[in-house]
Amino acid sequence: MKKAPVLLSIIISSLVLLLVGIIGRNNVYAEGTSNGLTEPVLKDVLMGIKDGVYPWHIFDSDVKNEAIEKVNAQRALEEEMLKKQEEALAAEEKKKEEERIAKEEAKKAKPTPTPTPTPTPEPTYTPRYEPLRETTYDEYISHISADIYGEDGVNFASEYKFKNVDITYFDDALFIGDSRTVGLRKYTDLKEHADFLCKTSMTIYKVLESDFDNKLTVEKALKNKKYGKVYIMLGINELGTGTTENFLASYTTLVDEIREISPETKIIIQAIMNIDRTQSTKDKVFNNTNILGRNNAIATLADNENIFYIDINPIVCDEDGFLRDDLRGDHLHLLGKSNELWREFLLAHGV
Amino acid sequence: MASFTSLGFLFRFLPIFLIVYYFVPSKFKNLVALLGSLVFYSLGEPIFVFLLIFLSLVNFFIANASCRAKKSTSKKKNRPKIYLILVILLDLISLVTFKVLIAAGFNVLLPLGLSFYTFKMLSYQIDVYRGTIKEGPPILEVITYFCIFPQVAEGPIMRFREGDFFDEKKITLLNIENGLRYFIPGLAMKVLLADRIGILWNDLGMYGYESISTPLAWLGAFAYSFELYFDFWGYSLMASGLMVAMGYEFIENFNHPYASNSISEFYRRWHITLGSFFRDYVYFPLGGSRTSKPKMVLNLSLVWILTGIWHGNSLNFILWGVILGLFIILEKLFYGEFLKKNRIIGNIYVLILIPLSWVVFAISDFPKMGTYFSRLFPFFTTAQVVDQGDIFTYLGDYWYLIIAAVLLCIPKITDLFRKYKDTVAVKILLVLLFWYSVYFCTISEGNPFMYLNF
């Protein structure tokens, strides 16, 4: 210890943390992703600290139980999804098999061809707030945001006649968003009119618990001042996190929370802005297909009376739906000067 | 795992390697170092590891042949020269081929460390030819020198004779302890300082240079200067710390460049092993400064154009080299003496010029570089969309990193660290820095070293 104190301290502390990781492996760190081989157990312990689970929590039964319950719930969900998917596959197989048999029988009985009346299924009407299907297990494990709603919500929302407004319209507006909205605030005159609750790497999952500038939360801001409209653009950072269902559920919570605190306020849901071609074509998670799945979901929240849905993508994207190269600063952010287009779009979409 | 800041390296590769290296008898240590290095390299470059092995072997055998030819009869007098030319061509062709392919827009990456290990090979060949390395050293020592993992990816470009490869190394815990004293500050500089200040520079590109205020443009230039410095100095400290842990001498690659009083001094203190490579193997053989003035200007121009080309694959790097070369020539011809006498003026001159030169280094797109300079010097253009208060936003977010960076650029501050290195407080600080850095690497999945693709 005298000769190599730094080395020995590091070895001992590593071993202690390793032990913590091993003890906590099936409880407090049950959610951890390390495999212990290429990714040291230590990773779980350090990631735990980031999420507020400290090494000494391995002795805290509350934290332990909470983590175990969470993981069990997760596993149950996964199993259920897997089961459903298998059932659906089996049903499809069965159907195919039946069709094949029916065809063969029809062949055998060629001399007397009876025109089998294939029952054309009645076109089923899908109510707007019901998903067309559920996210499948495969989509879930590969972080694909399934398009489970289709275009019904978007179509309905676009029926609304938006108005042209002048900049003072934003005097009672509040913008909630992530780094993209930070750009809108920085590089347009909207900051002189509207208030902004925006922060880099904000997500729909943490927006209600987060502190923004001056220690403001969404709740406090809405209670402090009466806003005529709240604009939301969130969803790019959490693309890989959760399913379309989870995302929509959290979005709904946010919208409901705003409505509850301030029932008069109009809520304008902004479509998640697409990303550029380079990123979108190579990334399995951050791509425009996944963005579309989520946009189609949040669009269904629009009722065209209190809640509206607007989509800036046709303005800033090329014909293939990729964020235009001449407008972007990196793969997913507008250049400072390009925010002018966003501003104009908002001015043309007053409610 | 081929990055010093990954958990896989810190808690898998390194401990296993050091334990084996520590316990094997001295005569096997080079072998263990070589095997470990090949494992390390192939984790990063599973295919191009064969290029490294191939070039190492060829370089060894040619140098060996050259040594033998020297000893033999006068008939073979020209042989060493022919060997030298052949092997220099081979090493340079390997390097230049990749650089040309990249410059021509092919979708290839420079094999990890190619520009560093080929330079080691070149220095070895020239030293053998010159007789600085006499007896043809054994194969294991030479190949280990070429491949040794702390240096293979990003240098320092150590010379063969600096490496005491023949010593029977008796590694004690003290070696590893001393290595950690370099490694941990390096890790912290890279992870806690360089990577985070780098975000500021990144932001400027994201919003577009036309939209930044002039004060922010200057802050950006300084931020990038800090990022580059602490990234590379940090890396060099980690690399040399690992070498110390393995029983080698510490190799100094940076010696407070920002405290210099002239551009020439700056580059005697910045990436020292590269500067001395060009000095010993290009500049001096051409006659250096002990020649006529026009010849010296020519020599310096050549050295700096080569330095530019070595650093990157686009034209801005050549422009960067030309600009630096120009100022160094001006200093040699005109005001070098003045700067030496007026140290404060010299230092201010360095602190303004060097960040500007890094802007040229950083922005490969010439119109964008022009835009950046028009924001730095807004005399002829007026900006359109600028957030005038942006400097305060960034100072608000980055002030503590900027202060830390400035302090670490002052030699007296780091002297303090050295002076008190044996106190308990500093040792505790090192352990804390280690864990805080590891924590940061983990939660922010490191962005690879900026110099890695060079």
pLDDT, average across residues B400-428: 94
Residue of A nearest to B176 (CA): A7
The answer to whether residue A213 neighbours chain B at the CB level (below 8 Å) is no
pLDDT, average across residues B278-292: 92
Taking CA atoms, A289 is separated from A251, B385, B403, in Å, by 19, 32, 44
Chain A residues with CB-CB distance to B443 below 8 A: 46-47, 50
Tokens 């030293």 — which residue?
B127
* Three-class secondary structure of residue A309 per DSSP: strand
* Cβ pair B206:A330 closer than 8 A: yes
Which member of B7, B207, B431 has the closest CB to residue A43?
Answer: B7
Mutate to test the interface with A, among B7, B14, B388 (most CBs of A within 10 A): B7
What whole-number distance in Å separates Cα of residue A145 and Cα of residue A139?
Answer: 7
Asked whether the predicted pLDDT for residue B114 surpasses 80, the reply is yes
* Cβ pair B435:A183 closer than 8 A: no
Chain B residues with CB-CB distance to A48 below 8 A: none
The answer to whether residue B442 neighbours chain A at the CB level (below 8 Å) is yes
pLDDT digits (tens, 9 = 90+) for A210-229: 999 878 999 999 999 999 99
What whole-number distance in Å separates Cα of residue B124 and Cα of residue B152?
Answer: 15
10 Å Cβ neighbour count for A318? 14
SS (H, E, C) chain B: CCCCCCHHHHHHHHHHHHHHHHHCCHHHHHHHHHHHHHHHHHHHCCCCHHHHHHHHHHHHHHHHHHHHHHHCCHHHCCHHHHHHHHHHHHHHHHHHHHHHHHHCCCCCCCCCCHHHHHHHHHHHHHHHHHCCCCCCCCHHHHHHHHHCHHHHCCCCCCCHHHHCCCCCCCCCHHHHHHHHHHHHHHHHHHHHHHHHHHHHHHHHHHHCHHHCCHHHHHHHHHHHHHHHHHHHHHHHHHHHHHHHHCCCCCCCCCCCHHHCCCHHHHHHHCCHHHHHHHHHHHHCCCCCCCCCHHHHHHHHHHHHHHHHHHHCCCHHHHHHHHHHHHHHHHHHHHHHHHHHHCHHHHHHHHHHHHHHHHHHHHCCCHHHHHHHHHHHCCCCCCCCCCCCCHHHHHHHHHHHHHHHHHHHCCHHHHHHHHHCCCCHHHHHHHHHHHHHHHHHHHHCCCCCCCCCCC
pLDDT confidence of residue B75: 67
- B107, B98 contact by CB (below 8 A): no
The answer to whether residue A249 neighbours chain B at the CB level (below 8 Å) is no
* Cβ pair A6:B385 closer than 8 A: no
Chain A residues with CB-CB distance to B199 below 8 A: none
The answer to whether residue B368 neighbours chain A at the CB level (below 8 Å) is no
pLDDT confidence of residue A116: 56
* Cβ pair B443:A47 closer than 8 A: yes
> B4 CA to chain A: closest CA distance, Å?
15
Residue of A nearest to B432 (CA): A10
pLDDT digits (tens, 9 = 90+) for B329-343: 999 999 999 999 999
Residue-wise burial string across B264-296, b where 16 or more C-beta atoms lie within 10 A, e elsewhere: bbbbebbbbbbbebbbbbebeeeebeeeeeeeb
> B211 CA to chain A: closest CA distance, Å?
6
pLDDT confidence of residue A27: 86
* Cβ pair A6:B435 closer than 8 A: no
Which member of A3, A47, A186 has the closest CB to residue B387?
Answer: A186
Chain B residues with CB-CB distance to A7 below 8 A: 173, 176-177, 180
What whole-number distance in Å separates Cα of residue A180 and Cα of residue A273?
Answer: 9
Residue of A nearest to B435 (CA): A10
Chain A residues with CB-CB distance to B184 below 8 A: 6
> A340 CA to chain B: closest CA distance, Å?
9
* Cβ pair B180:A49 closer than 8 A: no
> A140 CA to chain B: closest CA distance, Å?
23
Query: What is the rounded average pLDDT for all residues in chain B?
Result: 92
Asked whether the predicted pLDDT for residue B444 surpasses 60, the reply is yes
Tokens 């230049």 — which residue?
B96
Asked whether the predicted pLDDT for residue B264 surpasses 70, the reply is yes
pLDDT, average across residues B159-166: 88
The answer to whether residue A340 neighbours chain B at the CB level (below 8 Å) is yes
Which member of A13, A329, A336 has the closest CB to residue B385?
Answer: A336
Tell me which residues of chain B, numbers 402 to 431, contact chain A at a CB-CB cutoff of 8 Å: 427, 430-431
pLDDT, average across residues A16-25: 92
Mutate to test the interface with B, among A1, A2, A3, A6 (most CBs of B within 10 A): A6
Task: Choose the most confident range, by mean pLDDT, from B122-126, B207-211, B381-385.
Answer: B122-126
Q: How far is CA A269 from the centre of its chain?
A: 14
Mutate to test the interface with B, among A1, A2, A7, A273 (most CBs of B within 10 A): A7
Asked whether the predicted pLDDT for residue B445 surpasses 80, the reply is no
- More confident position, B254 or A81: B254
pLDDT confidence of residue A283: 86
- More confident position, A153 or A129: A153
> A11 CA to chain B: closest CA distance, Å?
9
> How many interface pairs between A and B have CB atoms less than 8 angstroms apart?
94
Which member of B180, B206, B442 has the closest CB to residue A43?
Answer: B442
pLDDT confidence of residue B235: 96
Q: Is B76 exposed, middle or buried (0-12, 13-18, 19+ CB in 10 A)?
A: middle
pLDDT confidence of residue B224: 97
Asked whether the predicted pLDDT for residue B314 surpasses 70, the reply is yes
* Cβ pair A4:B174 closer than 8 A: yes
pLDDT confidence of residue B241: 97
pLDDT digits (tens, 9 = 90+) for A117-134: 555 555 444 445 788 888
The answer to whether residue A46 neighbours chain B at the CB level (below 8 Å) is yes
Asked whether the predicted pLDDT for residue A13 surpasses 70, the reply is yes
For residue B271, indicate whether it is catalytic.
Answer: no
* Cβ pair B427:A9 closer than 8 A: yes
Tokens 């301290």 — which residue?
A9
Confidence of residue A167 (pLDDT cuts 50, 70, 90): very high
Residue of A nearest to B204 (CA): A329
pLDDT confidence of residue B367: 95
pTM recorded for the entire structure: 0.89
Chain B residues with CB-CB distance to A329 below 8 A: 205-208
The answer to whether residue B7 neighbours chain A at the CB level (below 8 Å) is yes
Asked whether the predicted pLDDT for residue A141 surpasses 80, the reply is yes
Of A98-107, A143-152, B111-120, B185-194, give the lowest mean pLDDT range: A98-107
Q: Which residues contact A331 (CB under 8 A, 6 or more apart)?
A: A275, A276, A278, A279, A286, A323
* Cβ pair A330:B205 closer than 8 A: yes
Chain A residues with CB-CB distance to B446 below 8 A: none
Residue of B nearest to A183 (CA): B207
The answer to whether residue A330 neighbours chain B at the CB level (below 8 Å) is yes
Asked whether the predicted pLDDT for residue B255 surpasses 80, the reply is yes
pLDDT confidence of residue A124: 43
pLDDT digits (tens, 9 = 90+) for A240-290: 888 999 999 999 999 999 999 999 999 999 999 999 998 899 888 889 999
Asked whether the predicted pLDDT for residue B450 surpasses 70, the reply is no
Percentage of residues in chain B having pLDDT higher than 90: 77
* Cβ pair A6:B443 closer than 8 A: no
pLDDT confidence of residue A123: 45
What whole-number distance in Å separates Cα of residue B338 and Cα of residue B331?
Answer: 9
Confidence of residue B411 (pLDDT cuts 50, 70, 90): very high
pLDDT confidence of residue B304: 97
* Cβ pair A5:B177 closer than 8 A: yes
pLDDT confidence of residue B300: 95
Asked whether the predicted pLDDT for residue A111 surpasses 80, the reply is no
> B368 CA to chain A: closest CA distance, Å?
12
Of A12-16, A22-26, A124-128, give the lowest mean pLDDT range: A124-128
Confidence of residue B274 (pLDDT cuts 50, 70, 90): very high
The answer to whether residue B381 neighbours chain A at the CB level (below 8 Å) is no
pLDDT confidence of residue B383: 64
Asked whether the predicted pLDDT for residue A114 surpasses 80, the reply is no
- A156, A178 contact by CB (below 8 A): no
pLDDT confidence of residue B1: 60
pLDDT, average across residues A191-202: 93
Question: Active-site residue among B181, B256, B311, B375?
Answer: B311
Tokens 């500007």 — which residue?
B356
DSSP state of A15: H
Asked whether the predicted pLDDT for residue B78 surpasses 90, the reply is no
Asked whether the predicted pLDDT for residue A65 surpasses 60, the reply is yes
Q: How far is CA B350 from the centre of its chain?
A: 20
